[in-house]
Structure 1
Amino acid sequence: MRIARFSTGDGVAFGVVEEGEQVIARIDGHPFGGVQLTGERYPLAEVRVVAPMLPSKVIAIGRNYADHAREMGAEPPDEPVLFLKPSTSVIGPGESIAYPEKLSRHVDYEGELAVVIGRLCREVPAERANDVIFGYTCANDVTARDLQSKDGQWARAKGFDTFCPLGPWIETSLDAGDLALTTTVNGELKQSGRTSWLLHDIPALIAHVSAVMTLLPGDVILTGTPAGVGPLAVGDEVSVGIEGIGTLTNRVISRD
């Protein structure tokens, strides 16, 4: 099932994307704990699809592909490297990434698989991780690389408004163990990897993160990016595609 958030101009609602992605059926309330349809259906082309979730927090995993760790001049870590992106960094498909040119001169794309949590949980054993997963979506962990190097920690570099595109929707019926992931910029392939290359797989990540902090329904875990990260420029169009989910596309504009 594909769950999207959408606006008709009279507010934002959740819906089920159906009929070959041509129609969206409205859900009564939120989709956690069971989907109840209202009977309202809209042509997908006539609504605005927004970020599929507004999480209380986005927990991201650094250097979770060996090839990316090495391209960043680091060895693959023994444990997952955690950092946070604020909820205010989240945008949806078709929204613009705002390049903060007064503060940064080097902003990178990082295409990733995102896990959406479906229930309140903590200290989840890896073998029970699937019990707390609501679904999966595409993500772009946009990063001001020069500020990451300058600051020595990642909060500012990863935390700008618009630096966490998510979407286009959440796929709830998916085995995410071996999916193709690509990132293109202006149609040119920049990243190509598979989720089977993750150093720490999704159950291990959920166990590791939930041992540190309580996860709430709608929270998002970014699982890491493969090699091939690189710079964006104002005017670029960047797309993250994941097998079985779809494609998340955003354009870069100047914030200043």
Structure 2
Amino acid sequence: MKLARFTVSGVNGILSGIIEGSIVKEFTGDLFGAHTLTGRSFPLGDIRFKAPLDPRHIIGIGKNFAAEGTEKPHVPEMPILFFKPLSTVVGPEDPVLLPHGTEEIRFESELAVIIGKIAKNLSPAEADEAIFGYTVANDFGAFNYFHPEGHWTIGKAFDTFCPLGPVLETEFDYRSARIKAAVNGVLKQDSPMERIITRIDVMISYISRFMTLMPGDVILTGTPAGSEAVRDGDVIDCYIEGIGNLRNQVKAE
């Protein structure tokens, strides 16, 4: 099931809906619980997608893909984790701002996992039960703000640095997914999820040992090789088949 948040010309506010073919059926209520169809529907071509949810937390994992043709490293006992503030979240077609004084700002196409239930001290075998769905993320970072000792949060925290969308897909086999990205139409990233180092079930299990995961938490699962610096005016497309294409243009602030 594909869920979306969107706006429609002439209708106030941000709406929620279920995409069925070329139609979006509006619903109200709890995204992670009971919700009710309103009876209104809109042609898919008439809506403007927003980020598919308002996250509770955004947790990222770094250095989590091995390039194709290389040997995978051992799974680290302590993965590189970081948080992104909620002010980083934007939706499809929203601009990503390049702040003054930043250098080497890179895009990173990623699969984002959305937690759907309270989860604490899960085993890897239990992790999938906590997943509500998936979306596409572009995890931007300003690399000149990465601390040499491994502190990534500042470089990942600038406003607009976490586009999400276009939809939240609840029925998706992430194990067979490919992560792709293009800059101005030129393919830069294209990797299967099998190149991931810390698997998603292991990742969720590990995080749930030190914090209680809650509905609406978003986990960014890492990016393949091919990420590179962007410049004012570049258009970035992040694509995962089965979820969709997330497009954003970067603009100087």
Into which bin does the TM-score normalised by the smaller protein fall? Answer: over 0.9
Q: Which moved more, 1:10-19 or 1:137-146?
A: 10-19
Offset, 1:34 = 4.5
Instruction: Name the counterpart of 1:56.
Output: 56
**1:219-234, aligned counterparts within 5 Å?**
219-234=217-232
> In structure 1, how many angstroms separate the alpha carbons of the residues matched to 2:16 and 2:216?
12
Q: Quote the residue 1:13 is aligned against.
A: 15
- Read off the aligned partner of 1:189 and give its amino acid letter: L
RMSD, aligned α-carbons: 1.9
The DSSP-based 3-state class of the residue aligned with 1:83 is strand
- Aligned in 2, Cα 1:35/1:97: closer, same or farther, shift over 3 Å? same
1:215 Cα deviation (Å)?
1.5
Name stretches of at least 5 consecutive residues in structure 1 with no aligned partner: none
Q: Which moved more, 1:227-236 or 1:32-41?
A: 32-41
Query: TM (normalized to structure 1)?
Result: 0.91
In structure 1, the partner of 2:36 is 36
Alignment-derived partner of residue 87 in structure 1: 86
Give the drift of 1:169.
Answer: 0.5
Return 216-225 or 74-83, whichever deviates more: 74-83
Shift of 1:147: 1.6
Residue 202 (structure 1) aligns with: 200
- Equivalents in 2 of 1:125, 1:76: separation in Å? 16
**Could you tell me how far apart the structure 2 residues matched to 1:82 and 1:142 are?**
15
CA distance in 2, matches of 1:57, 1:83: 11
Higher mean C-alpha deviation, range 245-254 or range 23-32? 23-32
Deviation at 1:152, TM superposition (A): 4.8
* Matched residue type, 1:146: N
> Structure 2: how far apart are the matches of 1:75 and 1:128?
22
3-state SS, counterpart of residue 231 of structure 1 = coil
CA contact (8 A) 1:66 1:75 kept: no
Name the % identity: 40
For residues 105-144 of structure 1, the aligned pairs below 5 Å read 105-144=103-142
The alpha carbon displacement at 1:45 in A equals 2.1
Q: Report the AA paired with residue 43 of structure 2.
A: P
1:251 corresponds, among 244, 249, 252, to 249
Contact 2:62 2:79 in 1 (8 A): yes
Give, in whole Å, the separation in 2 of the partners of 1:44 and 1:14: 13
Deviation, 1:31, is: 2.2
Deviates more, 1:45-54 or 1:141-150: 141-150
* Partner Cα distance (2:148, 2:203) in 1: 28
Q: Distance in 2 between matches of 1:35 and 1:80?
A: 36
SS of 2:146 mapped into structure 1? helix
Residue 175 of structure 2 aligns to a residue whose secondary structure is coil
What is the Cα deviation at residue 162 of structure 1? Answer: 0.3
Alignment of 1:71-86 (within 5 A): 77-86=76-85
Shift >3 Å, 4+ stretches: 74-79, 149-152
The one-letter code matched in structure 1 to 2:27 is I
Q: Give 3-state SS (helix, strand or coil) of 2:182's partner.
A: strand
Question: Does structure 1 retain, via aligned residues, the 8 Å contact 2:75–2:198?
Answer: no
Letter of the 2:67 counterpart: D
